[in-house]
Amino acid sequence: MTDLTRRWRLVLGRYAEQRLPSDAADAGLDATLGYLYDREYTARGHQHLKGGGGSLDPSALTALDWLGSARTLFPTSTLERMEREAITRYGLDELLTDPEAAERVHASPDLAAALLRTRGRLDANTAAGVRRIISKVVEEILARLRPKFTTSLTGARLRHQRSPHHSLRNFDWRRTIAANLGNIDPETGRMLVEEVRFMARQRRRNIQWDVIILVDQSGSMAGSVLHSAVSAAILAGLPGLSVRLVLFDTGLADLSHLAQDPVEVLMSSQLGGGTDIAKAMHYAETLVSQPSRTVLALISDFEEGGSVSSLLACTRRLAASGVRLLGLASLADAGDPYYDRAMAARLAAAGMEIGAMTPDRFADWLAEVTQ
C-alpha cells in the first residue's frame, strides 16, 4: 500500500474497507479515528458494513479508552482539535460526564470557548465536566495575566529615574536615543547604542476609578467573553478600582456581583442571539457617577442590531461628559478578529477609542487612560 493510499484509507475510515483494506500496522490508528469520525456517517443514516470474515460493528472502546489511545497516537495540536470536535460536534458527552476523562481532556482556551458556544445544547449531566474544564482554563489565564494587570495598574512609570529592572516593557526609547546622539556614524547614519535607559515605577496612590465593562455575548465573541471575565476578576481585586461587569445581547445581565468569580460569570453567560449595543450603552450611562473618573470598555464585534442613531448619541454624551470610552473588537490571545469596521469608525468619530488587542495590551491601555 502506497503512502497516499494509506492516507486515503485513514481518511475514509472503515467504510472503505472493501476497496481499501487497512494495514494491520494501522489498526490502532484506524480504530481511534473511527471511534470519533464514524459518527459523521452514522449521523447521516449509514450502517456499519460487514465484509469478509471480519466485523465492522462499533468499537467497544469507552471515551476514556479512546482518549488514552488518542494521546499516544497524535500530537497535542491534533489531539486538542479532536477533543473539541468530540464534545461540541459529535456529542461525545462521556468526556464530560466521566470525571476522570474530563480531568484528562486538554483544557485549552479554544475548547473553553467552544463549550461556551455549545453549552446550551449539551446534556444537563455534562455541567460538572464543563465547569471543571472552564475552571482549569480560567486558572491558567489568571496565573498568566494577573502579574501583568497588577504591574500595569498599580505602578506608574517614572521617566526621570533609572530602573534596576531591565525589561522590554520598561524600555525608555526616548531617553535612550537622547543618551546616544553622540554615537552616530556620519557615513552610515547608524547609531551605536552604548547606554540603554529604562523607566522605574512607583506605586500609584489616591487614585479611584470606576471601570464599566460591557461584553457582547454574540456567538462570535466566545473567546473575548472568556478573557473579559478573567480580566474583570483581576481588576475587581486591585486597589483603587470599582468594577461593573455587564453581559449583553438583546437583553442585559449585570453580573457585577460575580465579577470576582470568572467561572460563575462564564457559567452564567448565554452566547448567541442578537446584539443591542445601544441598550447596553444606555444602561452603562446610568451607572456613571463621576464621569472624569470612569472608563467604559465595550467589548464587541460592533454588529449593531439595535438603533444606530441611539447608540451614537449615547456615545457622544458619554464622551462629552468626560468618560473614557474604549471599544475592543477582540480580547483574546490570538487571531485577527472580524468586526464591523464601518460601525467601529462611526463610534470612533463619536468619541470612542477603538482597538483589537490581547488582554495584556488591554492592561497597558487601561493604565494609560487612568494615569
Give pLDDT tens digits for 151-168.
Answer: 888 864 444 444 444 455
15 pLDDT band, cuts 50/70/90, is low
User: What pLDDT score does 203 carry?
Assistant: 47
Secondary structure letter of residue 126 according to DSSP: G
Overall pTM > 0.75: no
Helix (H, G, I), strand (E, B) or coil at 161: strand
Residues 164 and 313: their CA atoms lie apart, in Å, by 48
Residues 33 and 69 sit within 8 Å (Cβ to Cβ): no
**Residue whose C-alpha is closest to residue 230's, from 143, 298, 295, 297:** 143
The fold of 209-369 is: Rossmann fold (3.40.50)
- The yes-or-no verdict on residue 337 having pLDDT over 60 is yes
Residues 252 and 246 sit within 8 Å (Cβ to Cβ): yes
- The yes-or-no verdict on residue 288 having pLDDT over 90 is yes
Domain boundaries, the chain: 3-137, 157-203, 209-369
Residue, of 32 and 181, whose pLDDT is higher: 32
Mean pLDDT value of segment 267-281: 89
- The 10s digit of each residue's pLDDT in 206-237 is 468 999 999 999 877 888 899 999 999 999 99
User: What pLDDT score does 56 carry?
Assistant: 39
User: What pLDDT score does 49 carry?
Assistant: 52
Residue, of 203 and 296, whose pLDDT is higher: 296
